[in-house]
Structure formats: C-alpha cells, structure tokens
Amino acid sequence: MTSSDRDHRESSVRRTKIVATLGPASSSREMIRTLALAGANVFRLNFSHGSHDDHAERHATIRDIEAELDRPIAILADMQGPKLRVGTFANGRITLQKGEHFRLDLDRTPGDNARVCLPHPEILAAAQPGSSLLLDDGKLRLKVLSKSDSHLDTEVMVGGPLSDRKGVNVPDVVLPIPALTAKDRKDLAFALSLGVEYIALSFVQRPEDVQEARDLVDGAAWIMTKLEKPKAMDALTEIVALSDAVMVARGDLGVELPPEEVPLAQKRAIREARRQGKPVVVATQMLESMITSPSPTRAEVSDVSNAVFDGADAVMLSAESAAGDYPKEAVEIMARVVRRVENDPEWRARFDVLRPEHDGSTAGAVAEAGWLLAQAVSASAIVAYSATGQGARRIARERPTCPVLALTPDDDVARRLCLLWGVRAQSVGQEIPIFGVEGLVDQAVELARREDFAQTGDKIVLMAGLPFGERGSTNTLRVIEVS
C-alpha cells in the first residue's frame, strides 16, 4: 500500500463513535438497520420511557442485525435515576411572580398560588436557608428563606408558569438519596438479563453512588456514569476512577450550572476521562433542530465539531434519533461532521499536543511505546489482543494515527469496545490462547487484510499480554510485516 493509498484509507475511517437513542421513530428493524449502516456504533435504550417488552424487542432486533452485518454493536441501558417533582395544583397550573413567597410542603393536597406539595422529605432535610431550588428544567428559581421538618418557605427569584409534576433540581446541596431507585434496580436487573454492554447511571452525586452500582452489576456490564450534577463535577477524579466510561449529560447539567459554565465542565470532563483512559461521550442537544428539520443549524455543527476536537470518544443523539422526523439523516450528518473534522490537519496536531502523560503503570508504558513504535515504522494498523478490553482501552487513550484493531475471545468484550475511540473490535473465539503468539499473528494479519487496513509489504504493530488471559498483562510488542 503506497503512502497515498494509506492516507486515502485513513481519511475514510471515522474514529469518533456515534451513539443513537432508540424510540418511537426508530424501533422498526428496517430503521435500526438503517441507523447501523449510517454510522451508529452504539444503541441507547432509555429506561425513562417504554416497557421492558419494548426494550427486549429492540435488544433482540439489534442482535439480529449485528449477526447480519457481521460486526459487533454495543447496547447502552440508561437508567432513569431519581426524578424529583412537585405535586399537583387545584387548577393544574399557576404563575409565580418574582419577589413572592411560596411554600413547598409535605401536604399532598393540590396546591395553589401560595403553596404546593414537595413529596421529597430528603430535600426538606438537606436544603438550608440560602439554598436554590430550580423548577421545570431551571425555568423558575426559588431561594429558601426558612425551613422546618414539614416545609420550606421560599422567595421567587425567577418567576413564570408552573404546572403539575414539574421537575425540581437542587444544585448546591448533596441530597441523601441513592442514584438507583427501586425502579432502577428492577430495570437494571432486567437490562443485565438481556445482556447489555453498558449501564448508564443518572443523577450521580458521589463516588459512593458509582460503587453501589458496581457492586450490583458485578462485572456483567461496564458502568457509564452520567455527569449531570454539579456535585458530581466536584468529585470528578474519584467518579471517573470508579467508572468504566462517562457521559457529559449537558441537559440536566445545564439546568443546575449557569449556561456559561457548561462548555468548561464538558472540556474538563473530557480531559479527566482521557487522562484516566476512560471513554467519554458528549450528549444532549447536539443536533436538536433535526427533530423537526432535515438539516442542522450551523451552531449545532460547530458543537459536534468541538466535541471531536476536544477528544470525545463518542457523540450522542437523543430525541433526534428516538422521536425525531429524520433519524437517518441525523446519524448521517453527524458521521459526516466527524469525518470532516478528523481529516483536518489542525485536529491531528491538537491531539498530539494534548496527549496525556502515561500513568506510570507497565501496561500504560507499553501502550505509549506501541503508539511510538507505530509512528516510527509507519504502521498501517495497531492490532491489540485484549481478553478484558483493558489493553484496547489503553491504546485508544493514546489516540494513534493508524487504526486500532482489537482481537478478543469474548463477544461481550468486543461489543464494549465499540464505544472506544478509533477501535475496530472483532471476537475471535478461544483459539488464540491455545495456539499461542503465532496463532495471534495469523489472526492479526487476517483481520488487517479483511478490514483493508494492510496489504502485502505493510507493517502492523501487535500488542498482547503474556501469559494470555491475565488482566492487565499487556507487556508484549511485535512488528509484523504483512506477506
């Protein structure tokens, strides 16, 4: 393969992955297949909506299409998390004026212009005079003046209409509530019974929330923590360390943070995730206008581009693909934007400057050496044998110029790796540990040829761990000339 052929091949490869949410607009077999062909690498099942039967049917359809297309597809089960809401009003709706006093209490009697039920005693317990309460996705803001065991007296700082069961956010206190509700625990058990690859945790506040989920999941899936609470950002390093992946969920994060702080929080989260070698997804309103329009706004295109420039592993579509009029077009345009950015010289130069330092571990040092070796010999691809996915995750952290082909003996691991930046995963069964390194070399060459990443005379870099199958044992590099 000549250098011009290699440049052309690499320009057609998309490193940043796409997560597409399934819903009423995208649940048919035909549409799911269409989205997979258009560029979706991961499908999100949103457990805030739909029944278990709905999610089971979508899961089965994805697996059927996966077999048809002969490539792994990951499935993300997104837990609803604790939803905090006010009660109802006698007339269904009121209007709060700035400067008025308004009471939130535990009385379930329908509310009026003076009060409403807040059926969450944990909020009453945690809030203090001066605390802020945000209602209806932050459209209204109240300040707590005083409190008792049964009520909060507040002043309206930002008024507006308020109707039945609108959401409540408390941005400046840690609420003594678990990230997994009783509903979440049932949904979690069901999702694990299906065999999903990722479990997304909503409204995490503390590292302990992630640990609780890890204990429940017990390795059956990778944990993706959604960063949507300011208190989670305060414990970002610890939360990322306990997670297998993170999502910058800008919808709820933007409710509780001032809008000008959200882009900075996004960049900080991406940097920390990259530093720790954990895949990071940027989500919410990326192509929001495409819910009803066949083309995005220029600002939305810039938003997706910036996430790619910042080094996100994946970008996500929510309502655009779940309930919008143009799910196929949304995935196609997102893939086009990603490819265009990744073909820009400034994108590559930025990645080389912003590469995080290695973590001092042997496996991290081997991954960095693999990246340098691939650069030095102009490798067409890096092939990583990874029994658990950790070796592939480490080399993806380096953001190598050439593609990364991950070989794994486990179908579930191959699917998990679909989220990782620049990684093309393939399950190769259990034969390699039996036949040793030479069997691995043969598999690596075969896969590189089949994916059109290498031809006769090209070099590929092989990464593996000896002995096979031991977690964290990536310790071997080998340059192979394709013959």
Contacts for 88 with CB less than 8 Å, ≥ 6 apart: 110, 111, 116, 117, 164, 165
* Residues 242, 214 contacting (CB under 8 angstroms): yes
450 among known catalytic residues: no
Distance CA 363, CA 472 (A): 7
Q: What are the φ/ψ torsions at residue 289 (nearest 5 degrees)?
A: -65, -20
Of these residues, 16, 154, 284, 388, which one is catalytic? 284
Q: Which two tokens stand for residue 82?
A: 């604790």
44 among known catalytic residues: yes
Of these residues, 44, 206, 231, 278, which one is catalytic? 44
Q: Residue 55 corresponds to which amino acid?
A: H
Q: Residue 287 corresponds to which amino acid?
A: L
226 among known catalytic residues: yes
Distance CA 383, CA 392 (A): 9
Helical (H) or strand (E) element with 40: none
Distance CA 443, CA 428 (A): 8
* Residues 166, 88 contacting (CB under 8 angstroms): no
Which residue matches tokens 């220029």?
A: 298
* Residues 166, 85 contacting (CB under 8 angstroms): yes
Distance CA 13, CA 342 (A): 9
> How many Cβ atoms sit within 10 Å of the Cβ of residue 349?
10
Q: Residue 166 corresponds to which amino acid?
A: K
Of these residues, 14, 58, 226, 399, which one is catalytic? 226
Exposed e or buried b per residue across 165-184, where buried means at least 16 C-beta atoms within 10 angstroms of its C-beta: ebbbbbbebebebbbbbeeb
* Residues 87, 108 contacting (CB under 8 angstroms): yes
Distance CA 239, CA 245 (A): 10
Of these residues, 33, 83, 85, 214, which one is catalytic? 85
Distance CA 195, CA 75 (A): 9
Helical (H) or strand (E) element with 69: helix 52-69
63 among known catalytic residues: no
Distance CA 128, CA 122 (A): 12
- For the chain, report the end-to-end CA distance as a whole number of angstroms: 12
Q: Are strands 280-283 and 168-169 parallel, antiparallel or unpaired?
A: unpaired
Biggest CA–CA distance in the chain, Å, is 80
- Dihedral, CA of residue 366, residue 371, residue 375 and residue 379, to nearest 10: 90
As annotated, the active-site residues are 44, 85, 226, 284
